[in-house]
Chains A and B, each alone.
Chain A
Amino acid sequence: MAARVDTPGLRAVSLGRSSRIWFALLGILMVWGLGAWIYQLTQGLIATGMRDVVSWGLYIFSFAFFVGLSAGGLIMASGAEVFGVKSLRPLAPIGVLTAAACVLVAAMTIIPDLGNPQRVWEIFRYPNWSSPLVWDVIIIVVYFAFAVTDLVVMHRRSMEKTKRLRTLRILAYVGLPTAVLLHSITAWIFGLQISRPWWNTALMAPLFVTSAILSGTALIALVALVAQRFDRFELPRETWTTLAGLMATALAVDLFLVGSDYVTILWGNVPRERAALDLILPGGSWQWLFWLEWLVGGLVPFVLLVTPRFKIRPGLLALSSVLVMVGVYAFRIELVVGGMIKPLLQLPPGNATGSYRFGQTSFQFQGIYHPTWVEYGIVVALAAFLALLITIGYRWIRSFERAGAPA
Chain B
Amino acid sequence: MAVETTTKRWGMVIDQNRCIGCWTCAVGCKEINNEPLGFWWNRILTASPGETTGESSSTVADPASDSIDVPHGTFPDVDMAYLPVACQHCEDAPCVKVCPVDATFRRDDGTVLVDYERCIGCRYCIAACPYGIRVFNWGDAEQPVDFTIGYGKDYRTDGRLVFTPDRPRGVVEKCTLCVERIDTGEQPFCVEVCPVGARVFGDLDDSESEVAQLVDDGGATQLLPDLGTKPRIFYLPVQQERSV
Interface residues of A (CB under 8 A from B): 43-48, 50-53, 55-56, 110, 113-117, 119-120, 122-123, 125-128, 130-134, 137, 189, 193-196, 270-272, 275, 339-340, 343-346, 348-356, 362-363
Contact A44 B140 (CB under 8 A): yes
Contact A56 B99 (CB under 8 A): no
Contact A275 B136 (CB under 8 A): no
Contacts of B68 in A (CB 8 A): 348-349
Main secondary structure of the interface of A (DSSP, over half): loop
Bound-state Cα–Cα, A345 to B224, Å: 9
A-B CB proximity, top 7 nearest: A115-B121, A115-B170, A46-B139, A356-B38, A356-B37, A195-B130, A346-B64
Asked if A271 meets B124 with Cβ closer than 8 Å, knowing A343-B132, A350-B45, the reply is no
Contact B118 A119 (CB under 8 A): yes
Contacts of A345 in B (CB 8 A): 45, 52, 64, 85, 130-132, 223-224
19 more A-B residue pairs beyond the given contacts A134-B100, A345-B132, with a C-beta to C-beta distance below 8 A: A44-B138, A113-B123, A115-B171, A116-B171, A117-B120, A122-B103, A123-B101, A123-B120, A130-B97, A137-B100, A194-B228, A195-B227, A196-B127, A345-B224, A346-B47, A346-B66, A348-B65, A348-B66, A353-B38
Contact A131 B137 (CB under 8 A): no
Contacts of A130 in B (CB 8 A): 97-98
Contact A352 B138 (CB under 8 A): no
Give 29 CB contacts A-B under 8 Å. A44-B138, A44-B139, A45-B136, A46-B139, A52-B136, A114-B170, A115-B119, A115-B120, A116-B120, A116-B168, A131-B98, A131-B124, A133-B124, A193-B94, A194-B130, A272-B63, A344-B58, A344-B130, A345-B85, A345-B132, A345-B224, A346-B63, A348-B65, A350-B43, A351-B43, A353-B38, A354-B136, A355-B138, A356-B142
Bound-state Cα–Cα, A30 to B91, Å: 46
Contacts of B169 in A (CB 8 A): 44, 115-116
Bound-state Cα–Cα, A120 to B101, Å: 9
Bound-state Cα–Cα, A129 to B45, Å: 35
Bound-state Cα–Cα, A349 to B135, Å: 14
Most buried by A among B85, B138, B142, B170: B138
Bound-state Cα–Cα, A51 to B46, Å: 22
Bound-state Cα–Cα, A44 to B167, Å: 13
Most buried by A among B59, B60, B126, B224: B126
Does any Cβ of A come within 8 Å of B40's Cβ? yes
Does any Cβ of A come within 8 Å of B102's Cβ? yes
Does any Cβ of A come within 8 Å of B151's Cβ? no
Contact A52 B137 (CB under 8 A): no
Does any Cβ of A come within 8 Å of B32's Cβ? no
Does any Cβ of A come within 8 Å of B122's Cβ? yes
Contact B39 A352 (CB under 8 A): yes
Contact A354 B137 (CB under 8 A): yes
Contacts of A115 in B (CB 8 A): 119-123, 136-137, 169-172
The minimal Cβ–Cβ distance linking A53 to chain B, given in whole angstroms, is 7
Contacts of A120 in B (CB 8 A): 120
Bound-state Cα–Cα, A287 to B129, Å: 27
Does any Cβ of A come within 8 Å of B199's Cβ? no
Bound-state Cα–Cα, A354 to B35, Å: 10
Contact A126 B101 (CB under 8 A): yes
Q: Which of B76-123 contact A (CB under 8 A)?
A: 85, 94, 97-103, 118-123
Contacts of A52 in B (CB 8 A): 126, 132, 134-136
Contact A275 B63 (CB under 8 A): yes
Contacts of A55 in B (CB 8 A): 123, 126-127, 136
Contacts of B223 in A (CB 8 A): 345
Contacts of A354 in B (CB 8 A): 38-39, 135-138
Does any Cβ of A come within 8 Å of B205's Cβ? no
Asked if A46 meets B138 with Cβ closer than 8 Å, knowing A114-B170, A123-B100, the reply is yes
Bound-state Cα–Cα, A115 to B118, Å: 11
Asked if A362 meets B39 with Cβ closer than 8 Å, knowing A127-B101, A344-B132, A346-B65, the reply is yes
Does any Cβ of A come within 8 Å of B225's Cβ? no
Does any Cβ of A come within 8 Å of B67's Cβ? yes
User: Taking CB as reference atom, which chain B residue is nearest A113?
Assistant: B122
Bound-state Cα–Cα, A132 to B124, Å: 10
Does any Cβ of A come within 8 Å of B2's Cβ? no
Contact B61 A271 (CB under 8 A): yes
Most buried by B among A47, A133, A350: A350
Contacts of A53 in B (CB 8 A): 132
Contacts of B36 in A (CB 8 A): 356
Contacts of B127 in A (CB 8 A): 55-56, 193, 195-196, 339-340
Asked if A193 meets B128 with Cβ closer than 8 Å, knowing A119-B120, A127-B101, A363-B40, the reply is yes
Does any Cβ of A come within 8 Å of B62's Cβ? yes
Bound-state Cα–Cα, A117 to B142, Å: 22
The minimal Cβ–Cβ distance linking A277 to chain B, given in whole angstroms, is 14
Bound-state Cα–Cα, A305 to B91, Å: 52
Contacts of A47 in B (CB 8 A): 139
Bound-state Cα–Cα, A363 to B135, Å: 11
Contact B102 A128 (CB under 8 A): yes
The minimal Cβ–Cβ distance linking B81 to chain A, given in whole angstroms, is 13
The minimal Cβ–Cβ distance linking A249 to chain B, given in whole angstroms, is 32
Contacts of B137 in A (CB 8 A): 44, 115, 354
Bound-state Cα–Cα, A348 to B64, Å: 9
Contact A194 B94 (CB under 8 A): yes
Contacts of A355 in B (CB 8 A): 38, 138-139
Contacts of A339 in B (CB 8 A): 127
Contact B98 A348 (CB under 8 A): no
Contact B43 A349 (CB under 8 A): yes
The minimal Cβ–Cβ distance linking A271 to chain B, given in whole angstroms, is 6
Asked if A132 meets B98 with Cβ closer than 8 Å, knowing A52-B135, A195-B128, the reply is yes
Contacts of A123 in B (CB 8 A): 100-101, 120
Contact A272 B58 (CB under 8 A): yes
Bound-state Cα–Cα, A113 to B127, Å: 14
Contact of B132 among A43, A189, A350 (CB under 8 A): A350
